[in-house]
């Protein structure tokens, strides 16, 4: 997932950036720090269906990694910076 300040400059208000990620801790920390500073609301969705499909497809002892969809929505200004987990 590549996200740069220059990318956000081309977003129109209400525009969305959608990425698929394993969302390691350092990626999550970056997103939580970077996006609110650039007037973006962040939504993260855990894709349980993908994990279940991988688990069914592979052997039971296979490692299943969590998959997340990250959606950043651009606003003119954020009403207030709020983090809800």
pLDDT tens by residue, 21-33: 999 999 999 898 8
For 79, other C-beta atoms within 10 Å of its C-beta total: 7
Taking each continuous run of H as one helix and of E as one strand, the counts in the chain are: 3, 3
Query: What confidence score (pLDDT) does residue 12 get?
Result: 76
Query: Which portions of the chain are predicted below pLDDT 50?
Result: none
Query: What confidence score (pLDDT) does residue 50 get?
Result: 81
Distances (CA, A) of 76 to 18, 24, 25: 18, 29, 28
Taking the C-alpha atoms of residue 66 and residue 43, their distance in angstroms, rounded to an integer, is 16
Taking the C-alpha atoms of residue 11 and residue 73, their distance in angstroms, rounded to an integer, is 9
């Amino acid at each position: 997932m590549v996200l740069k300040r220059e990318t956000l400059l081309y977003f129109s208000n209400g525009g969305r950036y959608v990425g698929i990620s394993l969302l390691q801790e350092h990626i999550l920390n970056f997103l939580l720090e970077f996006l609110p500073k650039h007037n973006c609301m962040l939504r993260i969705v855990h894709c349980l269906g993908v994990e279940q499909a991988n688990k069914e497809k592979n052997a039971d002892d296979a490692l299943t990694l969590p998959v997340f969809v990250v959606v950043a929505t651009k606003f003119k200004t954020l009403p207030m910076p709020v983090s809800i987990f």
